[in-house]
Structure 1
């Protein structure tokens, strides 16, 4: 049986960083983003939007031309030239089946480096053998595909929370990465066996693009923390839980009722301000 810790507001707030008078854009964290594609350009816009709204010094978007144009239309403060970063977000809105060899090579370089990487969607196939500190963010079917690549047994469909937690922990141990397994109850596991569940969400989050928003929130939190601390997979697991908590409560506060992914991103600053002020959005 997996011992499942329940993540809360206080733990989230402890991992968020409020800027001081001594900060500048580099000390607050710079996130490098390689997401989106000509087929799915909106994923880049949503992830970048969410990263900015989470509180970060700079976002460098280094993806394809069409998504880059859309990103700049929405968030003109985004930088589209290579340079210094403290963390990476890759894979959202991309498809491994149509990825060009040159892009695969660039992503492989990121995953062979020392900076922490948030790996989503179309980059999950590159996780086996990667050396960078990583947190992967699969939903159920992507988790099954990742487990197959890692040579792990197929997880049972419709699994209980305990079974999902066990599978996430097994995937973390097999990949060496922190695992954020999306779902109505989000499970986060570290390779050392630490496991938590985040129950902050709402069923209205089951809509297109909200996973891209989660990736942006997590990327920003990782970059902000990475600007001040060295991060391993165990640390990334805690940051992933914090991001899931913020994301879930942003989804709640964007309602009541139906929400879009952009609604969720726009609700993030208020959730973070409440947490930093000692409040609990669950109350």
Structure 2
């Protein structure tokens, strides 16, 4: 069966200090290693309702990142063009509805352009009570999530969520992240050169391994996919801040390897993910 290096019961007992730095050892604790008796279902199934006619690539990048991080199956539900591109890139993706252990919602979507099919897919996912990653176009539906949730805004999105100016968020990112976590009752992953992960109880974690070259279109879509994979393989976790921080660390480490000190594409980052995971469990 799936050997989970860390779960609620076996997670590291390090103290949740305010503003602690989350690093390699902590990230390694959230990698699930398959055993001889595992199958594609026990290894974790993550669902995606992402992408749009305008931004179909977001769906491709999220699915790619999740598969390369390690899950047994990806289910993708989205518009026709995005579905075709996902299947062209990853034909093992399942494009029919079914059970999942976690959802990734909203990447590459605009709430103002949400069609009826997308709305129905998101509402259905939110009502299943499983962990959800709320990214980009799904940040506005946090109130309807019936299960644990992680919101993954950048500074501008967090400002809109809080109803303040972007400059106010940038002036005190820690306070803004904590306020959003308290307001939404979810974990908030505030993206940036230093990623902040705030829990509803006020705890704060920092991830500092990103390269400036990571500031590129599609990077957030890959991060959402990595996080979706970790949540699907730890679906019984009640505190989503540690796996969220682990996803940010893995994302940053893969970017460092893909970059080598220079520019890279998000697919390069995704290609580096298996090596990162391998080294974490070695």
The TM-score normalised by the length of structure 2 is: 0.90
| CA RMSD, Structure 1 to Structure 2 (Å) | 1.5
Deviation at 1:3, TM superposition (A): 2.6
Deviation at 1:145, TM superposition (A): 1.0
Question: Corresponding residue for 2:13?
Answer: none
- 2:103 partner SS: strand
> Residues 233-275 of structure 1: CA distance to partner in whole angstroms, max 9, x if unpaired?
xx21111100000000100000120011111111111111111
The TM-score normalised by the length of structure 1 is: 0.90
Is 1:169 the counterpart of 2:174? The answer is no
> Residues 169-194 of structure 1: CA distance to partner in whole angstroms, max 9, x if unpaired?
11101101100000000000111111
Give the whole-Å Cα distance in 1 for the aligned partners of 2:280 and 2:237. Answer: 22
Describe how 1:252-267 pairs up with structure 2 within 5 A: 252-256=256-260, 257-267=262-272
- 2:170 partner SS: coil
Q: Which moved more, 1:200-209 or 1:121-130?
A: 121-130
Question: Corresponding residue for 2:62?
Answer: 47
2:250 to 246, 264, 275: 246
Is 1:273 the counterpart of 2:282? The answer is no
Question: Corresponding residue for 2:170?
Answer: 159
User: Is residue 62–residue 80 contact of structure 1 (8 Å, CA) maintained in 2?
Assistant: yes
User: Is residue 169–residue 176 contact of structure 2 (8 Å, CA) maintained in 1?
Assistant: no
Q: Which runs of 5+ in 1 are unaligned?
A: 278-283
Residues 55, 129 of structure 1: alpha-carbon distance in 2 compared, 3 angstrom cutoff: closer
Describe how 1:109-124 pairs up with structure 2 within 5 A: 109-124=124-139
Residues 39, 159 of structure 1: alpha-carbon distance in 2 compared, 3 angstrom cutoff: closer
- 1:44 partner SS: helix
Question: Corresponding residue for 1:34?
Answer: 49
Deviation at 1:103, TM superposition (A): 2.2
User: Is residue 118–residue 219 contact of structure 1 (8 Å, CA) maintained in 2?
Assistant: yes
Describe how 1:188-207 pairs up with structure 2 within 5 A: 188-207=197-216
Deviation at 1:107, TM superposition (A): 1.2
1:85 to 63, 78, 100: 100
1:181 to 190, 212, 216: 190
Residues 184, 63 of structure 1: alpha-carbon distance in 2 compared, 3 angstrom cutoff: same
Give the whole-Å Cα distance in 1 for the aligned partners of 2:195 and 2:248. Answer: 7
User: Is residue 155–residue 167 contact of structure 1 (8 Å, CA) maintained in 2?
Assistant: no
Question: Corresponding residue for 2:28?
Answer: 13
User: Is residue 34–residue 62 contact of structure 1 (8 Å, CA) maintained in 2?
Assistant: yes
Give the whole-Å Cα distance in 2 for the aligned partners of 1:258 and 1:102. Answer: 37
Deviation at 1:218, TM superposition (A): 0.5
Q: Which runs of 5+ in 2 are unaligned?
A: 1-16
Question: Corresponding residue for 1:237?
Answer: 241
